[in-house]
Amino acid sequence: MIFHPKNSTLFKLTFLLIAGMALWCIEGKAQKGKTKDPVTVNILPYNKKARFNKKFPVKYKIQFINNLKDPQEGALVYTVFDNANQEILENSLDVRVNAKKTLVSNFEIPIVKEGNYTIKMRIELTNFNSNFDGSFAYIGPPRKSKDRKPEIAQEPIVNTPPLNWSKDNLSGVAGRQSLSADEIKDAPVSEEPESEEEEGEMIIKLKPYKKDGVFYDGEKIKYSVSIANKYKVRQDGTFTAIVQTELGETVSSTQVKLKIAKKGQKNFQIEIPKPPKEGVYNLRAATNTSTYDDTALYAFGYNISKIKTPYYLPPDFEEYWQTAMSDLAKVDPQYKISRDDEHSTKYHDVYRVDMKGIDDFPFYGYLSIPKLKGKYPVIIGFGGYKKEVMPLLFDEFISFSVNVRGIDKKYEKEFNPDNIEQIMLKAEDKDAYVYKGIYLDCIRAVEFVYAHGHMGMDLNRVLAFGGSQGATMGLVTAALMPDKINAVIASNPVFADWKNSFAVGKNKRELSFPSDAIVRYLKDNPDFTEEQMLETFNYFDLQNFMPKVKCPVLYAVGLQDEFIAPGSAIAAYNKLPFDALSKSELFIFPDLGHEIPVYHNSFIGIWFNEKAVSKKKR
């Protein structure tokens, strides 16, 4: 997960994610009497889409804010992994920020090979330690569409407001760089452009008439189109908007002839024919001219409140989970609470909590409590797929970051001795399937909270949040413990309507997780069929839990999500019972994949604070 552990309450209340999956950092209101965080670190890619090339090399912006009376010294260590998760580069930078000063700088990463990359950063300063994860793409010059590398869905490393970044402030010998400055204010804006608008390129921009890209009966489905010709010659050709279902079936095609003068621009509008039924539709925008050929992918929703998918509910679904909860109750949790001096601060006490779940398997979490005495609402945070959630420090909440089984490397061999992709671990048996234990770990974590109200927890105000798999775990927990959770923030949930999602995933031109992992497993295990797999998955399918959720939900979906069919994610939301649905909110982001935009975090913070005011009705 990506998070900003030292930020304060208002904008700090969500995860994002990312496969690598997420992001969780929001800035906001400070603790009473404490107006500044001791140390703040913000990191962003120079290019907003994190897409770089030879002309615009891989570069990141970084800001250190030291509000302490002592200088902060240490290092930033970053490791880059390729698309196969192989480490290809590690480097470190020395850091020094004087007392009560701000350092603003940037650093380049020597990547010159095309591809999609993941970057992991570790910052270790005198009074600050943190991890940051992100991803970026390195691409080549413009070329024909058949030769182009696909874009990646980028998660910004940290959610931060716009900043003016200084020119390069790095120095040092090869393999070891340094960052050092007393204070940089009003640094000049970098000369780097925000987009790769190179000569010899066509810049195509589509914008739906409705910001969320969602249209209903009686509304025209319209887009404004802008095409800029950066070539020194006139461009003749066509622009074609091809609308397809999530399964790739073409439902309409709208074409416009193009004649654009050299260095000229053409602006026009297109109206998309009404789709045959409600759903999420992909829009392939193909631009074919004299010297340019490219296709970009967009998406829109049509009558999304009516999207329904069939239930594949096992007849013994209720009995299965009643028995599972009963079996969990028989397991001694063996709670062990240990103070974590490394992560505790002047304003927060942090504890590592170890406990036992079903089958006596161990897992853990981090409990963070403001030192200012009082009763605090509780936020329970669930992490993404195989991602550790570190302590989250809020000024007006107690937080419990839950790391379910499979996260603690100490038990890796015991958990998965054959190193099988986690999502397929023991999928042949619904009673042994890995997500039975993972979901029950979430239940046990809530039980821990309710068993320790004496530690300053207001048990009338308990909220859950997460992104990706963490969103799913929060919703499943609210369904299985409807009287324990006040509200859920669920950004980009996954594992909903497995039958349709897998059908959509395996139909894509290029497979992505989890479909690629499932396809490989089924190929390597021919005696285990897709039908048998879905029979197991139906016991853990998010859509089957949604009718049992009773609390308000803030739900976010990116219409270009690669990890779940967006239509399936929306259909799961529509399965909330009426009372919960009437208090919930759905946000749609048509241009995003498995992520949420930076500005959405501010709304999450406000929404979470509002829900924390409302106490549960017993």
Nearest to 403 by CA among 321, 485, 326, 466: 466
Q: What HEC string does 126-195 produce?
A: CCEEEEEEEEEEECCCCCCHHHCCCCCCCCCCCCCCCCCCCCCCEECCCCEEEEEECCCCCCCCCCCCCC
pLDDT digits (tens, 9 = 90+) for 404-432: 999 999 999 999 999 999 999 999 999 99
pLDDT digits (tens, 9 = 90+) for 44-94: 888 777 888 877 888 888 888 888 888 888 888 888 988 777 788 888 788
Residue 80 near residue 93 (C-beta atoms within 8 A): no
Average pLDDT over the chain, rounded to whole? 83
Q: pLDDT-based confidence at 39, cuts 50/70/90?
A: confident
CATH superfamily of 317-613: Alpha/Beta hydrolase fold, catalytic domain (3.40.50.1820)
SS3 572: helix
DSSP category for residue 484: T
**Regarding the domain delimited by 48-181, which CATH topology (the fold level of the hierarchy) does it fall under?**
Immunoglobulin-like (2.60.40)
Is the CATH number 2.60.40.10 carried by domain 202-306? yes
Largest CA distance in the chain: 76
Pull the structure tokens for residue 377.
């609402």
The dihedral built from the CA positions of residue 570, 572, 573 and 578, taken in this order, carries a sign that is positive
Q: The pTM is what?
A: 0.71
Nearest to 598 by CA among 12, 210, 134, 160: 160
Give yes or no on whether 48-181 and 317-613 have one common fold: no
Domain ranges of the chain: 48-181, 202-306, 317-613
What are the CA-CA distances from residue 33 to residues 29, 222, 393, 606 (Å)? 11, 51, 16, 21
Those residues with Cβ within 8 angstroms of residue 334's Cβ, 6 or more apart along the chain or in another chain: 354, 355, 356
- Between 396 and 335, where is the model more confident? 335
- CA 444 distance to own-chain centroid: 24
pLDDT digits (tens, 9 = 90+) for 12-31: 333 333 233 333 332 333 33
